[in-house]
Amino acid sequence: MPLFGNTFSPKKTPPRKCASYSNLHLTLDRSTRETELGLEYSTPTMNLTGQSLKFENGQWVAESGSFTDCRREMQRLLKRNQQMQEENNLLRLKVDILLDMLSEVTAEVHLMEKEVEELKSHSRRRKK
C-alpha cells in the first residue's frame, strides 16, 4: 500500500490544436504551395569573398573555376612557408655554431689570461 496515496499516474495530455491557422495549404495546389512556401529544396550555396560554393556529396565545391587561382596561391604560400622554415632551421644551426665558437674562444682567452698571470707571478718571484 503506498504511503501517500495512489501510485504515479500522470494526467492525459489534451489533443494538440492545428499547427497552422492559415488556409493556404488548403487553397493552393501542390506545385504552387511548394514554390510559395519553400518546400522545394536545392543544394546549399554560400558566397565567401566573391567565391561561390555549393554543397554536393558531403563536400563544398566551387561553382565556377575561380578557386583555381586560390589553390595556386595556397600552393605558392605553402611552398614559401616550407622555404622559410628551412631557412629558419639553417639560421638556428648557424647561431648554434657561432655560440659554440664564441664559448671556445672565451675558454681559450681565460686560459691565456691564467697563463699570463702565472708568468707574471713567476717573474716577480725571480726578481726578488
Chain mean pLDDT for the chain: 81
Closest CA to 63 of 47, 49, 41: 47
pLDDT digits 0-9 by tens, 57-112: 888 877 765 566 777 888 999 999 999 999 999 999 999 999 999 999 999 999 99
Rounded percentage of the chain residues whose pLDDT exceeds 70: 72
CA dist list (Å): 53 to 61, 66, 72, 80, 81? 5, 10, 18, 27, 27
Per-residue confidence (pLDDT) for residue 11, from 0 to 100: 81
CA–CA dist 69, 59 (Å, integer): 19
Rounded percentage of the chain residues whose pLDDT exceeds 90: 36
Give 125's pLDDT tier (boundaries 50, 70, 90).
confident
Per-residue confidence (pLDDT) for residue 32, from 0 to 100: 72
Residue 67 cell numbers, joined:
578557386
CA–CA dist 116, 23 (Å, integer): 109
pLDDT at 2 over 60: no
Per-residue confidence (pLDDT) for residue 113, from 0 to 100: 96
Residues 6+ apart with CB under 8 A from 24: 33, 36, 37
Q: Residue 46: CA atoms inside 13 Å, Cβ hemisphere, count?
A: 7
pLDDT at 27 over 80: no
